[in-house]
Amino acid sequence: MSNQLVGSDMRNKPFGARLRAAMDTRGPLCVGIDPHQHLLDAWGLPDTAEGLASFTYGVVDALADRVAVFKPQSAFFERFGSAGIAVLEQATIRLRDAGALVIIDAKRGDIGSTMGGYAAAYLAEKGPLACDALTVSPYLGFGSLQPAIDVARESGAGLFVLALTSNPEGPQFQTARTADGPTVAGAVLDGLRGLNADADDLGSFGAVVGATISSTDENLDINGPLLAPGLGAQGGTAEGLTKVFGTAVRNVVPSSSREILGAGPTGLQAAADRANDAYRTVLGY
Active site amino acids: 107
Q: Is 98 in the site for ligand LLZGTKA7 (CB under 6 A)?
A: no
Please name the helix (run of DSSP H) or strand (run of DSSP E) that holds residue 105, with its range, or none: strand 101-108
In three-state secondary structure terms, 137 is coil
CB of 73 to ligand LLZGTKA7, least distance (A): 4
Single residue of 196, 251, 257, 276 touching ligand LLZGTKA7 by CB under 6 A: 257
Cα–Cα dist 235/6, whole Å = 31
DSSP state of 203: -
In angstroms, what CA-CA distances link 193 with 51, 55, 122, 142, 207?
Answer: 42, 38, 23, 12, 10
Q: Is 218 in the site for ligand LLZGTKA7 (CB under 6 A)?
A: no
Altogether, the residues listed in the chain come to a count of 285
Single residue of 51, 156, 224, 229 touching ligand LLZGTKA7 by CB under 6 A: 229
If the CB atoms of residues 15 and 70 are measured against ligand LLZGTKA7, the closer one turns out to be: 70
Single residue of 174, 223, 256, 276 touching ligand LLZGTKA7 by CB under 6 A: 256
Taking contact as CB under 6 A, which single stretch among the options 91-99, 142-150, 160-168, 273-281 is the one that binds ligand LLZGTKA7? 160-168
Single residue of 17, 20, 34, 130 touching ligand LLZGTKA7 by CB under 6 A: 34
Please name the helix (run of DSSP H) or strand (run of DSSP E) that holds residue 70, with its range, or none: strand 69-72
CB of 256 to ligand LLZGTKA7, least distance (A): 5
Compute φ and ψ for 111, nearest 5 degrees: -65, 155
Single residue of 234, 237, 242, 269 touching ligand LLZGTKA7 by CB under 6 A: 234
Single residue of 230, 245, 254, 275 touching ligand LLZGTKA7 by CB under 6 A: 230
x/- contact string, 36-75, with ligand LLZGTKA7 (CB under 6 A)?
Answer: -------------------------------------x--
In three-state secondary structure terms, 254 is strand
Cα–Cα dist 26/3, whole Å = 10
Cα–Cα dist 118/129, whole Å = 10
Helices (H), 73-169: 74-78, 81-97, 112-122, 146-155
Q: Is 240 in the site for ligand LLZGTKA7 (CB under 6 A)?
A: no
In three-state secondary structure terms, 163 is strand
Single residue of 54, 56, 165, 223 touching ligand LLZGTKA7 by CB under 6 A: 165
Q: Is 206 in the site for ligand LLZGTKA7 (CB under 6 A)?
A: no
CB of 122 to ligand LLZGTKA7, least distance (A): 16
Q: Which of 99, 58, 91 is nearest to 73 (CA)?
A: 91
In angstroms, what CA-CA distances link 248 with 134, 202, 206, 209?
Answer: 21, 11, 12, 12
Beta bridge partners, 128, equal none
Q: Is 271 in the site for ligand LLZGTKA7 (CB under 6 A)?
A: no
- Footprint on this chain of ligand LLZGTKA7 (rule: CB under 6 A): 32, 34, 73, 105, 165-167, 208, 210, 229-230, 232-234, 256-259
